[in-house]
Amino acid sequence: MAQFLQVLLSGLATGSIYALAAVGFSLVWQAAQAVNFAQGEFVMLPAFLVLIGEHWLHWPLWAALLFGFALSILLLGLAFKRLIVQPFGPDGGLPLVIATMALSILLKEAVKTFYGAEAEPFPSLIPNGDFHIGGAVISVRDVLNLAAALAVVMLLTLFLDRTKTGRQMQAAAQNPGVAEILGIDVARMTLYAFLLNAALAAVASFLITPVYLAKFSNGESLGLVAFIAAIIGGFNRIRGALVGGLLIGVLDNLTATYVTLSYRAALPLVLLIAVILWRPQGLLGDAEARIV
Amino acid sequence: MRAHREAIAVAVVVAALIVAPLGQGNYIAYLLCSWLMLAIAAMGLNLTLGYAGRISLAQASFIGIGAYATSIVTLAHYPWVLGMAVGVVLCFLVGLLLGFPALRVRGHYLAFVTLAFNSLFFLVARNEDWLTGGTYGLSGMPRPRIGPVSTSGQLAFYYFTLAVALLAALVLRLIVRSPWGRAFKALRENEVRAESLGLDVRRLTLLAFAIGSAYGGLAGAIEAPLVQYIDPGSFDVVQSLSLLLMVVVGGLGEFWGPVLGSAVAVLLPEALRVTAAYYLMLYAIAVILLMTRCPGGLIGLARRIAARPARRRGAAVS
Amino acid sequence: MTGFMPMRRAAVVAIAGAIVAWHAPAQAQNNKTVLIPCVCELSGAGAVSGTNYRDGAHIAVNEINAAGGILGHKIVMRDYDTQTNPMVSRALVQKVVDAGAYVVMGTVYSGSTDVNMLVTEHAGVPQITGSEAPDITQKGDPYIFRTSSGSEKDIPALVDYFTQTLKVKKVAVEWVQNDFGKGGHDLFVQAIRKAGVQVVADVPSEQGQVDFSPDVAKIKHSGAQAVFVYVNEEEAARFLKEAKKQALTVPLVGDVTLTDQKVIELAGPAAEGAIAHVGLTVSAPVPSIQAFVAKFRKIYHHNTDHNGIKGYIGVYAIKYVTEMVGKFDRKAFAAKMHGLTLDANKYPGMLLTTSWDKTGELSRESFMTQVKGGKAVVIATIPAN
């Protein structure tokens, strides 16, 4: 029982990180019809920007974090949209996918060449400490990660449903033509989605890197899990990404503990294929609607 | 006239390929072999994606199936031809199977299904030691004998690879020029219209996948005796992505696109050796620029440059 | 219509151009230099190990050249990045052999060495590898030589440690599913069962795995009295962190990586108490090794792991053996090195007295180390076997 509780809690904690990466991925997909194959690298990079602030510029941690966050939004939000997605026009299709794949190579190689190939420790923002629940241990960090993921999804849903800008973003994503006629600044709304994605990626990066360590190749597995979580949950629901992320985190751990270790990586893949074939809109998604 | 010129162009290229490794070291011959091997796999992917418009991120797993089949058969002292045939047929069948999801989903979703398939293939290849040798892989595959001639030397094996690649290109050429090829293109351009023209979309989609995958298998049958060592890591998703990059960089749906794209991928690191650690970054930036400026790839770019004077004249008139 | 021909011509020109581009003339070989290329994992999964190996080798090259080279020939060492890809490594080894390499340094990852050693064997070029997988020296290749003992040499020392020092009856094994992890796992499980110890949890993990909570939970509830941890550096750090979180209090014993400097840096306090058997460690209480480690830090501004030492002694071994032979003769070199012992007192570049048997396998004394106060310290010395 203690073991079950342990893997369940740990799975939720890991899943919340997947969810944060997946939410941003869904936002960009919906807003710009762009599948971002560099999403994993978007979560890898902000931690290194902080390390640059800390170790190269010798700033205090808070300044380095601020620097990393601001630069992430600039590079992964604004520059990504302007320089890579925008030139393709409204429907980038395959060339855009290829461009994001190349971007993922570029980000990995740049970090490796200019910062280093080795894994680096990353300062923890959260005090060390553990909760003991029925024989299982969950760290303060895990609890905060989970809370952060829930809060992000709640706030985003509120923002999209209750604010004028949020509703305009939805309209712009669902039908750019009609939105334009209604006087909505579609380009600006799309930009918001990109900036939000960059901010979420930076938050996810700061939350996980203390545990996962900063390494140029960290995005490879994370990016894949983010796609899978987003698709399983359903692209057109923000909370779909949350459910998808948590589901994968938990199922992953349960499989590894009780079913098979050597095929532990297979379950999310099988789940992905099954969902795409039998319920392509995802577990929580509607067949037609787009949320953003 | 055009066919005549094309024949000359092809003859020149073939002649260049025949003399290319002469007087060079084994390394050059080896590099050329890897290029031709990748070109075969990329040609197959180009059929599935470029002509029929169905994306596959699983081409590396088909190279893997071909390579494992060839290795297992030749390590059991059966001839290479048998191993190759087993691999190609197996890939054709598995490709047919993987084509079924393509009947249901398109684009990005299909990309993820095929990507997941490739990841699963990696896990199976790594875990099923009894068949694949697991993480240790398989090694020591003999190189084929053609009658009395052994291809164990690097140069001999190169000419063998060249012959296989030319044959593969010829067959693909025939397919593309046949009614099937035209039907594939119709499928890519407008599926509803293709259906209304009486084309069997279902069968064509499956066939596009199966033939494209079989080409992956053929490439694997070359890779096994070329490297004489295979392990699951050689056929992971990253390799599939890099094959996709080759096809698109060369020019999607262009017959010579994959050949050019794979040449760039294999030979560029060599040409850019002076830039050392920066070459992958330069490659990535070049790909991004190419995609944003000219989604038609290198061949599209060449076409555009060739067409430029005409356009200028047109612009001057207007 | 008009676009058709130029397009084809452009493709032809591009291909031809690409072919010409790398037909650059091979480096002219001055008869006062000797080519010793370093083919290593400078990127990809093996980048940390490969880079240290390369850096260590270059220190030795610079020292030897400053002192007049080998038999009056200056060493020319160029680096080749295998990207931790066996196929690329094979191509590069072929390339350096074609270019007339005297001896090849590298590769570190066994998966690559398995492939590229076929090339050096075929060409009769000695190869000094950093790989530790058992099969490397079991293929009868007369040209392969190690710079640290294979994991099969480490296993008996580890099994002794579990059975005689820790005196445990039940162990768990955490290992990574690559050739490094599988090699160590298979040998260890076989040997420890033979010693009458039960393996109560056998836990394979993925390379690059970030979440070790199910692994630790499984081990914790298996009743194991000690854990054998056989994973790469970053995974070792993540495992140690998770073990600390879940309060896994039994001894964690590994081979080489677990008390590695990088792991201690990454895992922080979670590395405290971890134990590892190391064939060659940067914390060995030997003045020659400490001097080398300090030298490395001074040159590269970061700490090396044992791979830096391997690269360094590899190049020195080439110098000493060649000078014993008295000429640059690859065949005589290989013959001389089989069964050779280089005494560290007489051959200071070896740092520790080192012997090679007739398969190229190496032996030297080894150490059990434990992390105490953020540093790996030696808790026992094991004689050469």
Q: What is the pLDDT of residues C36-46, one digit of tens each?
A: 999 999 877 78
- Whether residues C180 and C63 share a domain: the answer is no
C202, C143: one domain = no
Structure tokens at C307: 């791979």
Inter-chain contact A6–C217, Cβ cutoff 8 Å?
yes
Name the amino acid, one letter, at B311. R
Residue numbers in chain B where pLDDT is lower than 70:
1-2, 273-277, 309-318
Question: C9 phi and psi, to 5 degrees?
Answer: -65, -40
Instruction: Write out the residues of chain C at the interface with chain A, using a CB-CB cutoff of 8 A.
Output: 42-43, 45, 47-48, 51, 177, 202-206, 208, 210-211, 213-215, 217-218, 220-221, 233-234, 237-238, 241, 245-247, 262, 265-266, 268
Q: Euclidean distance between the first and final Cα of chain C, in Å?
A: 76
Residue A134's pLDDT is: 82
Tell me: pLDDT of C305 over 50.
yes
Q: Is residue C22 part of a domain?
A: no
Q: Does the pLDDT value for residue C50 go beyond 90?
A: yes
Region of B193 please: left (phi>0), alpha (psi -120 to 50) or beta. alpha
Predicted local distance difference test score (pLDDT) of residue C14? 45
Q: What is the pLDDT of residue A236?
A: 73
More reliable by pLDDT, C318 or C208: C318
Is there a single domain that holds both residue C309 and residue C200? no
ipTM of the complex: 0.90
Please, is B19 exposed, middle or buried when counting C-beta atoms within 10 Å of its C-beta (0-12, 13-18, 19+)?
exposed
β-strands C144-146, C127-129 pairing: parallel
CA angle B102, B106, B112 (to 5 degrees): 80
Whether residue A266 and residue B109 make contact (CB cut-off 8 A), yes or no, is no
Do C273 and C159 share a domain, yes or no?
A: yes
Q: State whether residue C71 sits within 8 Å of chain B by CB.
A: no
b/e map of B151-177 (b: 16 or more CB within 10 Å)? beebebbbbbbbebbeebbeebeeebe
With beta carbons under 8 A apart, name residues in chain A contacting C268: 121
Neighbours of C356 (CB within 10 A): 21
Closest CA to C76 of C106, C38, C107, C41: C38
Cα–Cα distance for residue pair A128/A131, rounded to 1 Å: 11
| Residue numbers in A near B280 (CB within 8 A) | 105, 109
What percentage of chain A has pLDDT greater than the value 90? 49
Of B109, B123, B288, nearest to A280 by CB-CB distance is: B109
What values do phi and psi take at B35, rounded to 5?
Answer: -65, -50
User: Which one of C51, C85, C87, C115 would you mutate to disrupt binding with B, by most B Cβ within 10 Å of its Cβ?
Assistant: C87
Contact B188, B53 (CB under 8 A): yes
Residues C221 and C239 in one domain: yes
Average pLDDT value for residue range C353-371: 91
Residue C79 lies in a domain: yes
Q: Distance (Å, rounded) from C-alpha B61 to C-alpha B67?
A: 10
- What is the Cα Rg of chain C in Å? 23
pLDDT in tens, A79-124: 999 999 988 887 778 889 899 999 999 999 999 889 987 889 999 8
What are the residue boundaries of the structural domains of chain B, listed by start? 24-236
Which residue in B112, B245, B278 is closest to A272 by CB distance? B112
Residues from chain B contacting residue C177 (CB–CB below 8 Å): 126-127, 135
Q: Tell me how far apart the terminal alpha carbons of chain A are, to the nearest angstrom.
A: 41
Among the listed residues C7, A36, A104, A37, the one whose alpha carbon sits nearest the alpha carbon of residue B297: C7
Query: Does C358 reside within a domain?
Result: yes
Test mutation, B118, B237, B281, chain A, max A CBs within 10 A: B281
pLDDT of residue B103: 85
B26-35, C190-199, C290-299: least confident range: B26-35
Average pLDDT, chain C: 88
- CB contacts < 8 Å between A and C, how many? 85
Check whether residue C107 and residue C200 sit in a common domain. Answer: no
- Tokens read off for B156: 């001999």
Q: Report which listed range, A20-24, A28-32, A170-174, C192-196, is most confident.
A: C192-196
pLDDT tens-digit series, residues A273-290: 999 888 888 887 766 544
d(C-alpha C331, C-alpha C229), whole Å: 40
Query: Whose CA is closest to C8, among A32, B44, B4?
Result: B4
Q: How confident is the model at residue A164 (pLDDT cuts 50, 70, 90)?
A: very high
Q: Number of C-alpha atoms within 13 angstroms, CB side, residue C109?
A: 32
d(CA A278, CA A276): 6
Q: Using CB atoms, pick whichever of B12, B24, B126 lies closest to residue C23.
A: B24
Angstrom distance (rounded) from CA B198 to CA B116: 33
User: Does residue C167 lie in a domain region?
Assistant: yes
Count of domains for chain C = 2
DSSP string, B229-258: EE-GGGGSHHHHHHHHHHHHHH-TT-TTHH
Which of C97, C115, C121 has the highest number of chain B CBs within 10 A, making it the mutation to test binding with B? C115
Check residue C20 and give its pLDDT.
41
Contacts made by residues B313-318, CB under 8 angstroms, sequence distance 24+: none
DSSP calls for C223-249: T-SEEEEE--HHHHHHHHHHHHHTT--
Strands (E), C156-195: 170-176
When CB atoms are compared, the residue of C206, C217, C238 closest to A257 is C217
CA-based nearest residue to B53, from A85, A94, A101: A94
User: What is the predicted pLDDT for the residue at A287?
Assistant: 61
Q: Is the pLDDT of residue C197 over 50?
A: yes
Residue C241 structural domain: 152-278
A285: its two tokens: 């998604």
Structure tokens at B213: 């995958």
The long-range contacts involving B166-172, CB below 8 angstroms and separated by at least 24 positions, are B166/B14, B168/B40, B168/B43, B168/B215, B168/B218, B169/B43, B169/B259, B172/B43, B172/B47, B172/B215, B172/B255
Of C177, C203, C234, the CB nearest to A119: C234
- Of the segments A115-124, C312-321, C368-377, which one has the largest average pLDDT value? C312-321
Note whether C142 and C159 are same-domain residues.
no
Chain A residues in contact with B119 by the CB 8 A cut-off are: 224, 265-266, 269
SS3 C26: coil
CATH (domain of C320):
3.40.50.2300
In the numeric block, which tokens belong to residue B286? 């070049």
**CB pair distance less than 8 Å for B228 and C115:** yes
Q: Say what the pLDDT of residue C255 is.
A: 83
* C-alpha R_g of chain B: 20
Question: Touching C: which chains, 3+ CB pairs < 8 A?
Answer: A, B
3-state secondary structure of C303: coil
What does the pLDDT read at residue A93?
A: 81
Provide, as residue numbers in chain C, all residues whose Cβ is less than 8 Å from the Cβ of A129: none
Q: Per the structure block, which two tokens stand in for C249?
A: 């209090």
- Torsion of Cα atoms, A179 then A184 then A188 then A194, to 10°: -40
| Residue A119: other Cβ atoms inside 10 A | 24
**In a domain? residue C26:** no
**Terminal C-alpha separation, chain B:** 32
**C212 domain-assigned:** yes
Is residue C267 domain-shared with residue C227, that is, in the same domain? yes
Give the per-residue pLDDT at C31: 61
Residue B317 is predicted with a pLDDT of: 42
Same domain for C173 and C273, yes or no, is yes
Report which of B59, B46, B40 is spatially closest to residue B297, judged by C-alpha positions: B46
What are the C-alpha distances in Å from A64 to residues A50, A57, A73, A75, A128? 5, 9, 14, 16, 21
Which of A236, A276, A281 to mutate to probe the B interface, most B CBs <10 Å? Answer: A276
The answer to whether the CB atoms of A257 and C218 lie below 8 A apart is yes
Residue A51 structure tokens: 């390390």
Largest CA distance in chain B: 71
Beta strands in chain C (DSSP E): 33-35, 38-40, 74-76, 79-81, 104-105, 127-129, 144-146, 170-176, 198-205, 226-230, 252-255, 275-278, 341-342, 354-356, 362-363, 366-372, 375-382
